[in-house]
Amino acid sequence: MTGTDDDFKIELRGDVTVELVKHSAADSDVLFAARVSTVGEQSLDELKKDPERSKGLINYLMRDRHGSPFEHNSMTFFISAPIFVFREFMRHRVGWSYNEESGRYRELQPVFYVPDTSRKLVQQGRPGKYEFVAGTEEQHQLVSESMAESYRGAYRTYQQMLEAGVAREVARSVLPVGLYSSMYATCNARSLMHFLGLRTQHELAKVPSFPQREIEMVGEQMEAAWAELMPLTYAAFNANGRVAP
């Protein structure tokens, strides 16, 4: 969902943006790294001679959790999402690099998150054993209207402080975590698999996970991009229960 509040010109979004901006990632990267320990350096032509053997090797590495060969690649994503998504992202530190836009150095734009009607709103059950169910039409309306009103007031206050000469790094304190931010995130296949194992739900997962929907939306798009780059590695990940090696 996207929209504009004409009263104070705030943009309301219910989606996330994920773009693969550069990469050096292929199944052959895994094979190069794995085979150097037993046969030394190989050319790409040699790796292509026996595709079934290559597929089997990748599956073996995944199944028996020989993880380091999956680190010799790189993917950089541009991500635009609410700040609270990035706070969850920062829990993933091994094999990740981040650079996020700064509210100290630039004026933050009035783009805010409001969940669309597909977002389940109601939590049922006790902590550690709960589920989310769809909200009513009235609950969705309450959420949308209340968030828009709160965002509008917060951004108005932010602008008033800037106009009064208050430093950006001070004025930004009034802005909520529903504000959109952007960052570049760089990872390798192994670190991405750890991320996906925790931040997505999947029927093939041996270990169930219960991610917040908004970060799962990011994970789903990252997963789709990675699957095209490294199809053999991706297939082995799914075939072995989506457990990172």
Could you list the active site residues? 199
What sections of 102-212 are H helices per DSSP? 137-163, 168-171, 189-199
Answer yes or no: are the C-beta atoms of 234 and 227 closer than 8 Å.
Answer: yes
Rounded Cα distance between 11 and 110, Å, is 6
Per DSSP, the residues of 10-64 read EEEE---EEEEEEEE--HHHHHHHHHHHHH----HHHHHS-HHHHHHHHHHHHHT
Tokens of 138: 């009235």
Residue 231's CB is within 10 A of a number of other CB atoms, namely 13
Residue 205's CB is within 10 A of a number of other CB atoms, namely 16
- Amino acid type, 148: A
Task: Tell which residue, 237, 112, 110, has the closest CA to residue 178.
Answer: 112
- Amino acid type, 89: F
